[in-house]
Amino acid sequence: MIVRLLSGLSTRAPSVLYRVALMMKPQVVFVLGGPGAGKGTQCSKIVESYSYTHLSAGDLLRAERARDGSEFGQLIDNCIKEGKIVPVEITINLLRKAMEETMQTDEKNFRFLIDGFPRNEDNLQGWNTVMDGKADVKFVLFFDCSNEVCINRCLERGKSSGRTDDNRESLEKRIQTYLQSTRPIIDQYAKQGKVRTIDASRCVDEVFADVKAIIDKED
């Protein structure tokens, strides 16, 4: 009898956990900061130590630009060079698909670092429209860095990145977009008490020590 009970439990337990996991809403951390602030670098380090999936909106857009048959390639290419923000209908679909695919691979994959999003009011509205109630935004990691440091890091990255926007002309436009469109979004989240600001001008390991302290406290 006991054996039957235990074996019943052991076969039922995973399915119960599985169902709980299926009901688990994606838990999202938005990662924001100027171009070159170190968002991608820090997200990679977070993924090494914590159970998060890193989704970079910029990487997803670059992949879509390169995808054979994409109807948006030209538009994305132009926006990236000009430092403009791609219409959210495109970006939110890429993010939503990537999140769904990730969650399908394993029910444990429901924590996301969404890097470089939302970058303007259009992005934020798109997120609220499509994802409202479907995902929880836990907090915003804000990598704070002077424009000068951002530009120098991107110019250095440009020596090997092959990116069409790691040049001085594009960078000036990207910084303007950041100041005019992204900072107000960070400010909105700050008013809700959701922003965790990190001094990103220091070396990678010092920045990561602060990142870890924040994630450990939030989790």
Binding residue positions: 36-41, 62, 84-86, 116-119, 123, 157, 163, 174, 202
**118 touches ligand ADP by CB under 6 A:** no
Q: Which of residues 33-72 bind Mg ion (CB under 5 A)?
A: 39-40
Report CA 157 to chain centroid distance, whole Å: 20
Binding at 33: pick from Mg ion, ligand C5P, ligand ADP, none (beta carbon under 5-8 Å per type): ligand ADP
Binding at 37: pick from ligand ADP, ligand C5P, Mg ion, none (beta carbon under 5-8 Å per type): ligand ADP
Binding part of the chain for ligand ADP, among 68-76, 131-139, 151-159, 179-187 by CB under 6 A, reads 151-159
Binding part of the chain for ligand C5P, among 3-11, 45-53, 76-84, 126-134 by CB under 6 A, reads 76-84
Residues 8, 37: Cα–Cα separation, whole Å? 53
Q: Which of 185, 76, 54 is nearest to 125 (CA)?
A: 185
Helices (H), 83-179: 88-105, 121-131, 147-161, 168-177
Stated as kind and residue range, the H or E segment containing 13 is helix 2-23
List 28, 32, 55, 61, residue binding ligand C5P (CB under 6 A): 61
CB 158 within 8 A of CB 166: yes
